[in-house]
């Protein structure tokens, strides 16, 4: 080859390489920026498994089952894996799920998982974080003790496992229905249908009092039964049933031989699991299914585009969007069948039904975000809540696994339903919905003694159960929401009744301290009183996961009324400043509550009642302080690494706060049509709205120093308001912030 030809060839190769790199960069999709490991350390309680948006199946690794550390079943600090179960909760503060565990093994193994501190004591295996990879719809890890590479993907109702084994006459898979995250199996069975098919069921009780999943597993290669375990008895039966059932099956494998397993789930019955599996994964092409799932994720994630301040922020943003689309979770089969809230079989006639509603958290920003960007899905969530009311007479409060847990306070299905209705959702019976929310605010139960509430104008701590102050503050907001729907339906007597209730927050405000405070049935303030003392339900006291300083600001619907209690805006701002500037850990008698994390002074970004507080500065005429707090939260508490979340993601609420705040506004009052301005944190964000229009947020000259909003324009015209309206956003347009370094 001549020198000239060599040079031309090298230039062509260089050009092709450059073009290939550019094409690769240009084709990078939103899912490529998602890091499912974010939040799997510290107390984020997320999981890195394979799932689809709001899917029934969340297939991923479990390395622990008990205690605060393992609420999701996975924690980065653990260096061993028990196996791969098909259901998980994302970012909760309670351990649950972990149903239908599969574990590939090699050699002779026991039926016990073994201790985390001693992996060799059971069938669990050590692993290295370096061997892990996770992306939307995909997870991979190497089990070091067995030399098995595990790859997982999932469709809405089925999981797909691909195991690459070493050479062995004793390769196998252990199915453990005694395994669960924080719960106990109460009933289970496993039946071998043929040499490639197994069916079964697991029923359990724990934080969720009673839930069950049926499954059907199909294997790519014939297996033999090695041994079975039935409540302590070991045999080689092909049908076993009891509280604790397990099955070990065997394959002979060559080096790098692949064995694949497809597992369908159903809440309804065994036939449903079979139908779900065969409908969603009819073939054996793992890579094809994985690509299809990634495409589904990209369709959901691509509804929002971001021009981020840096690459790390882009990762944090799309991971937040991913986390916001994980829960609630599907319960209906492909034919609409499901096991209902009344513990009877049903077939939905209104589309998919869902469970896992962490409403104390998610009514604040997650559901308003879904109602804005994914209203069709949110509509199904609302209809699921209403169907629960139809079957049981109660809306969900904090419902998981089709069971009410009563673990939190308030009736926050109410604002979710009202928000959907007021923003135009006509897919449900508005009169039935109204009667359901009215019932929620008048039907007495263990955390809602309305007779005392109406008699005294608050929940008195000597007559009501614990958390009296927090329950009052949560209830007045729900009352306000019922009033708004009553007004829209022209039920004016109800409107006035619930609006009167909505200002009961004033009855627990102690003007001498400018703080909310517990009060008894005689009107006496709780004494002694430590406004810095953190309490939770288990510890007793008047507050839920917080103290008087954190709860005083929990008036989302009447911010001006709250400001008026302080006398002036200046007093209000001064008190807010004290909240953010007082170090809780320096105070005498400081006590920790696991959920109260992400502290800026006494403000707790890691706990939901704080989430709207920074935006109160804007309402009090100090948007510069809102900008400072929001920037600090972004820079400290949402980082693109495993311990990048400052607290539980709580089923997407922490992530929804981030998504709204990045755009420069937030729903202080979730059912309102107004979003209050803070300060944008990205150069540009484009919403591809569900009605086909486009909303664009621009932050001109945004950088590290330019964090303050100098002026705002809407479609080129100056905007003097401190809010933007839902209807304006849905009409499409450009919201333009001019940023600078001057707080004034």
From 585, 623, 595, select the one nearest 719 (Cα to Cα).
Answer: 623
pTM of the predicted model, to two decimals?
0.95
- The residue ranking higher by pLDDT, 586 or 360, is 360
311 Cβ partners below 8 Å, 6+ apart?
none
- Tell me how far apart the alpha carbons of residues 154 and 167 are, in angstroms, rounded to a whole number: 27
Share of the chain above pLDDT 70, in %: 95
Cβ atoms of residues 547 and 533 within 8 Å: yes
Phi, psi of 103 (to 5 degrees): -140, 115
List Cα–Cα distances, 242 to 206, 238, 353, 548, 723, in angstroms: 17, 14, 30, 49, 59
Structure tokens at 452: 């005392």
> At residue 411, does pLDDT exceed 60?
yes
Q: Give the pLDDT band (50/70/90) at residue 592.
A: low
- Tell me how far apart the alpha carbons of residues 735 and 717 are, in angstroms, rounded to a whole number: 10
Residue range 640-655: mean pLDDT, rounded? 97
User: What's the pLDDT at 538?
Assistant: 55
- Tell me how far apart the alpha carbons of residues 627 and 177 are, in angstroms, rounded to a whole number: 50
List Cα–Cα distances, 643 to 37, 43, 91, 315, 577, in angstroms: 9, 8, 13, 14, 28
User: What's the pLDDT at 447?
Assistant: 81
Residue range 413-426: mean pLDDT, rounded? 98
Cβ atoms of residues 591 and 584 within 8 Å: no
Residue range 342-359: mean pLDDT, rounded? 97
Residue range 393-420: mean pLDDT, rounded? 97
SS3 state at 619: helix
148 Cβ partners below 8 Å, 6+ apart?
104, 105, 106, 125, 142, 163, 164, 165, 166, 171
> At residue 17, does pLDDT exceed 70?
no
> At residue 446, does pLDDT exceed 90?
no
- Tell me how far apart the alpha carbons of residues 482 and 412 are, in angstroms, rounded to a whole number: 11
The total of other beta-carbon atoms located within 10 Å of residue 106's CB is 21
Packing angle of the helix pair 311-324, 286-301 (nearest 10 deg) = 100
Cβ atoms of residues 294 and 137 within 8 Å: yes
User: What's the pLDDT at 589?
Assistant: 62
- Tell me how far apart the alpha carbons of residues 735 and 744 are, in angstroms, rounded to a whole number: 21
Calculate the average pLDDT of the chain.
94
From 58, 49, 102, 111, select the one nearest 218 (Cα to Cα).
Answer: 102
> At residue 23, does pLDDT exceed 50?
no
Share of the chain above pLDDT 90, in %: 92
User: What's the pLDDT at 1?
Assistant: 44
> At residue 212, does pLDDT exceed 80?
yes
- The model's pLDDT over 315-344, given as tens digits with 9 standing for 90+, comes to 999 999 999 999 999 999 999 999 999 999
> At residue 164, does pLDDT exceed 70?
yes
User: What's the pLDDT at 381?
Assistant: 98
Sheet of 233-235, strands arranged across: 50-51, 58-62, 83-85, 101-106, 168-176, 245-253, 224-230, 233-235
Return the domain boundaries, the chain. Answer: 33-301, 305-329+595-744
Just give the CATH number of 305-329+595-744.
Answer: 3.30.2080.10
Instruction: Write b or e for each residue in 428-456: b if 16 or more Cβ atoms lie within 10 A of its Cβ, otherwise e.
Output: beeeebbebbbebbeeeeebbbeebbeeb
CATH for 33-301 (3.30.930.10, 2.70.98.10, 3.40.50.150, 3.40.50.800): 2.70.98.10
Structure tokens at 335: 């034919």
Phi, psi of 279 (to 5 degrees): -80, -40
- Tell me how far apart the alpha carbons of residues 599 and 557 are, in angstroms, rounded to a whole number: 25
């Amino acid at each position: 080859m001549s020198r000239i030809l060599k040079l031309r060839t090298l230039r062509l190769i260089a050009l092709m390489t450059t073009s290939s790199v550019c094409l690769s960069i240009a084709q990078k999709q939103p899912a490529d920026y998602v890091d499912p490991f974010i939040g799997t350390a510290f107390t984020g309680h997320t999981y890195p498994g394979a799932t689809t948006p709001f899917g029934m199946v969340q297939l991923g690794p479990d390395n622990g089952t008990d205690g605060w550390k393992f609420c999701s079943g996975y924690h980065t600090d653990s260096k061993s894996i028990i196996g791969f179960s098909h259901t998980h909760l994302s970012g909760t503060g309670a351990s649950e799920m972990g149903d239908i565990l599969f574990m590939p093994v090699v050699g002779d193994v026991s039926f016990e998982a073994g201790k985390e501190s001693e992996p060799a004591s059971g069938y669990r295996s050590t692993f290295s974080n370096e061997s892990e990879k996770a992306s939307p719809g995909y997870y991979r890890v190497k089990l070091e003790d067995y030399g098995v590479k595990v790859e997982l993907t999932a469709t809405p109702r089925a999981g797909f496992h691909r195991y690459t084994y070493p050479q062995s006459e004793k390769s196998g898979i252990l199915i453990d229905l005694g395994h669960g995250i924080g719960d106990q199996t109460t009933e289970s069975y496993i039946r071998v249908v043929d040499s490639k098919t197994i069916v079964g069921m697991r029923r359990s009780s724990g934080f969720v009092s009673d839930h069950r999943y049926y499954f059907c597993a199909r294997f790519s290669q014939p297996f033999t039964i090695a041994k079975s375990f039935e409540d302590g008895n070991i045999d080689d039966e092909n049908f076993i049933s009891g509280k604790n059932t397990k099955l070990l099956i065997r394959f002979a494998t060559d080096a790098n031989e692949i064995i694949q397993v497809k597992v369908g789930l159903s809440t309804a019955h065994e036939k449903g699991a079979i139908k779900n599996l065969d409908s969603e994964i009819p073939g054996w092409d793992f890579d094809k299914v994985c690509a299809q799932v990634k495409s589904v994720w990209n369709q959901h994630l691509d509804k929002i585009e971001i021009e981020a301040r840096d690459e790390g922020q882009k990762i944090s943003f799309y991971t937040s969007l991913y986390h916001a689309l994980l829960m609630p979770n599907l319960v209906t089969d492909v034919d609409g069948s499901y096991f209902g809230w009344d513990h009877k079989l049903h077939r939905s006639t209104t589309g998919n039904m869902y469970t896992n509603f962490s409403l104390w958290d998610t009514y604040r920003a997650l559901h308003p975000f879904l109602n804005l960007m994914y209203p069709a899905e949110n509509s199904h969530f609302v209809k699921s809540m209403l169907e629960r009311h139809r079957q049981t007479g109660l809306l969900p409060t904090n419902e998981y696994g089709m069971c009410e847990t009563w673990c939190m306070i308030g009736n926050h299905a109410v604002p979710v339903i009202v928000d959907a209705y007021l923003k135009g959702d006509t897919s449900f019976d508005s009169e039935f919905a109204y009667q359901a929310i009215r019932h929620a605010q008048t039907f007495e139960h263990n955390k809602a003694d309305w007779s005392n509430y109406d008699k005294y104008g608050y929940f008195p701590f000597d007559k009501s159960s614990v958390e009296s102050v927090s329950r009052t503050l949560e209830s007045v907001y729900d009352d306000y929401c019922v009033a708004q729907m009553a007004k829209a339906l022209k039920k004016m007597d109800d409107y006035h009744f619930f609006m009167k209730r909505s200002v009961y927050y004033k009855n627990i405000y102690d003007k001498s301290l400018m703080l909310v405070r517990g009060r008894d049935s005689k009107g006496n303030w709780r004494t002694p009183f430590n406004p810095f003392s953190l309490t939770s339900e288990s510890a007793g006291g008047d507050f839920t996961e917080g103290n008087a300083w954190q709860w005083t600001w929990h008036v989302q619907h009447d911010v001006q009324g709250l400001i008026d209690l302080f006398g002036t805006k200046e007093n209000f701002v001064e008190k807010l400043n004290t909240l953010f500037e007082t170090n809780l850990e320096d105070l005498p008698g400081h006590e920790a509550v696991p959920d109260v994390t992400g502290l800026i002074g006494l403000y707790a970004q890691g706990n939901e009642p704080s989430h709207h507080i920074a935006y109160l500065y804007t309402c009090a005429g100090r948007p510069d302080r809102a900008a400072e707090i929001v920037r600090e939260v972004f820079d400290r508490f949402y980082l693109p690494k495993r311990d990048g979340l400052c607290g539980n993601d709580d089923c997407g609420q922490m992530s929804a706060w981030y998504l709204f705040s990045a755009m420069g506004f937030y729903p202080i009052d979730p059912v309102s049509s107004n979003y209050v301005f803070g300060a944008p944190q990205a150069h540009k964000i484009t919403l591809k709205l569900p009605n086909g229009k486009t909303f664009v947020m621009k932050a001109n000259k945004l950088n590290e120093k330019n964090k303050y909003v100098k002026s705002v324009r809407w479609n080129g015209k100056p905007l003097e308001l401190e809010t933007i309206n839902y209807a304006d956003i849905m009409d499409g347009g450009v919201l333009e912030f001019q940023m600078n370094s001057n707080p004034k």
